[in-house]
């Protein structure tokens, strides 16, 4: 298979088989981080909404967005992913990895 790399007279050649950014952690908004901290603490959506002064539906929107960014399917996986990325510390009483 032939790939023309000089279509725009560019002297820069890139290996397109490799991703541009390998394993960079996703970027979350400040509110998404607050929601994630609350989830890590074990709060329910209604409790998070009260704590942050936002609607429960807004919490759900933030949860959906951050789960998509972290490539996880549920709240537990989101909390574990955040801890594995070093964003959150283990809760008291839990062993630190």
pLDDT digits (tens, 9 = 90+) for 14-40: 454 544 455 788 999 999 999 999 999
CA distances from 29 to 12, 15, 33, 50, 69 (A): 33, 32, 6, 19, 11
Domains of the chain: 30-84 (1.10.10.10)
Above pLDDT 70, what percent of the chain? Answer: 69
pLDDT above 60 for 12: no
Residues 6+ apart with CB under 8 A from 56: 45, 46, 49
Any idea what the Cα angle at residue 19 is, between residues 15 and 25, rounded to 5°?
150
pLDDT digits (tens, 9 = 90+) for 40-59: 999 999 999 999 999 999 99
Say if residues 89 and 77 touch (Cβ distance below 8 Å). Answer: no
């Amino acid at each position: 298979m032939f790939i023309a790399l000089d279509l725009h007279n560019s002297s820069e050649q890139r290996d397109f088989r490799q991703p541009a950014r390998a394993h960079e952690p996703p970027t979350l908004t400040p509110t998404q981080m607050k929601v994630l901290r609350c989830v890590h603490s074990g709060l329910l959506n209604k409790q998070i909404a009260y704590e942050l002064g936002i609607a429960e539906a807004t919490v759900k929107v933030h949860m959906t967005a951050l789960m998509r960014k972290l490539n996880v399917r549920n709240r537990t996986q989101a909390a574990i992913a955040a801890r594995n990325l070093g964003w959150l510390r283990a809760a008291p009483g839990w062993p630190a990895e």
